[in-house]
Amino acid sequence: MLKPHRVVLDKVSSYTDEAAAFMRRRRHQRREFVRIRFQSGAESDLPVDGAGARRISEAARRLIELG
């Protein structure tokens, strides 16, 4: 049987995890962007209307068509 304080901690932890996930989804839905993930694990976001984002999007479309 769990100790009473553990039940409360687990419930609060669950609520905070859900709130954090909501904020991440909300932040990502506000603007369009192209995200690049490098092999090192680093990420970079480019605005959709930039030249680099257009080139990457076009290259991705070509790769999908070839697949």
Digit-coded pLDDT (tens) for 8-65: 778 778 888 888 888 777 765 667 788 888 999 899 888 888 888 889 889 988 998 8
Beta-sheet pairing, 33-37 with 43-47: antiparallel
pTM: 0.43
Question: Six-digit token pair at 5?
Answer: 């304080």
CA distances from 37 to 8, 29, 34, 44, 45 (A): 37, 19, 10, 7, 9
Question: Is the Cβ–Cβ distance between 47 and 56 less than 8 Å?
Answer: no
Answer whether 46's CB lies under 8 Å from 36's CB.
Answer: yes
| Both structure tokens of 19 | 């709130």
